[in-house]
Amino acid sequence: MWYFLKLYTASILAIFLTLFSWKTGYSYGCYMLFFPLIMLFIISHSFIELKMQQRQCFKRCYFSNDSFFAKILASRVFVSIIYLVISMLMSITLLYGIIDYSRELWLYLAIHILLVIFLYRAIYHLLKHTIKENYLPIFAKEWTINISSLLLILVFIYLSLYKGYVPAYLSDNLQQTISNASNNMNSDCYISNIILKLKIEIDSLFWWMVSQNAEHFNDQRIKVGIWILFIFINSLALLGLNRFIVQVIYLLDRLFKKRAEI
């Protein structure tokens, strides 16, 4: 129990410090991009660690070690470039999401971190005598990511529908809607400004188009389905957030265990 509480405390401090630092300081200079870079590094590390293990296994099974394809397949540089790009897309989408998340979702994240720790340790101990020791932590981490991602997305969709999913910046005029939305995001950093304004302007265009054509959808189920689809697409940023959360817990768990062995 003491170890569980220590891991939870360290995880929630590390995760919330990073996320809230960006949420509260994104409007300042480009030095605040330090926190998104931390998220990018952690998310990409989680991908690269897994994919390198998978490719090494695949190479040993199907390729000769000295073949060209074997070297490319298991090249750390090649794998790192691919999944760094994927992690970058996740992180960029996440930058806007963190700023826009509701207070209820932030409260749930504290509970979500607790559930992730419990799930990770439960899967780890469940498969302790089934998976090889070298692969067990990575296997438990990936299963935890897959299960907890679904839970987080479902909670996000529920909270979005419960609180009302029509944004305040919506207007009858498209130009005014985009202008209202764009004014909600301002940063002294040119890079942050471009990313955040582009995302919210794309969102505002969708909301305006749906609101103007809503009267043509006679079936209420179609209307609700469209809103849920849009919320679900935007909730894909939560995949990056959830991977970041699980990877932080995974790294802290390994750090504490190594210290205990010394």
- pLDDT, tens digit (0-9, with 9 covering 90-100), for 162-171: 766 667 788 8
Percent of the chain with pLDDT over 90: 29
Residue 106 sits in which domain range? 2-261
User: For residue 219, what is the DSSP state?
Assistant: -
Residue 249 dihedral angles phi and psi, to the nearest 5°: -60, -45
Domain total of the chain: 1
The pLDDT-based confidence of 221 (bands split at 50, 70, 90) is: low
pLDDT given for residue 6 in this prediction: 93
- pLDDT of residue 58 exceeding 80, the answer is no
If you average pLDDT over residues 31-59, what whole number do you get?
86
φ and ψ at residue 167, rounded to 5 degrees: -70, 155
Which pLDDT score is estimated for 12?
95
Among the listed residues 244, 259, 246, the one whose alpha carbon sits nearest the alpha carbon of residue 124: 246
Examine the pLDDT at 228 and tell me if it is beyond 80.
no
End-to-end CA distance of the chain: 21
List, for residues 86-132, the tens digit of each pLDDT value: 888 888 888 888 888 888 899 999 999 999 999 999 999 998 888 88
Residues 211 and 170: their CA atoms lie apart, in Å, by 9
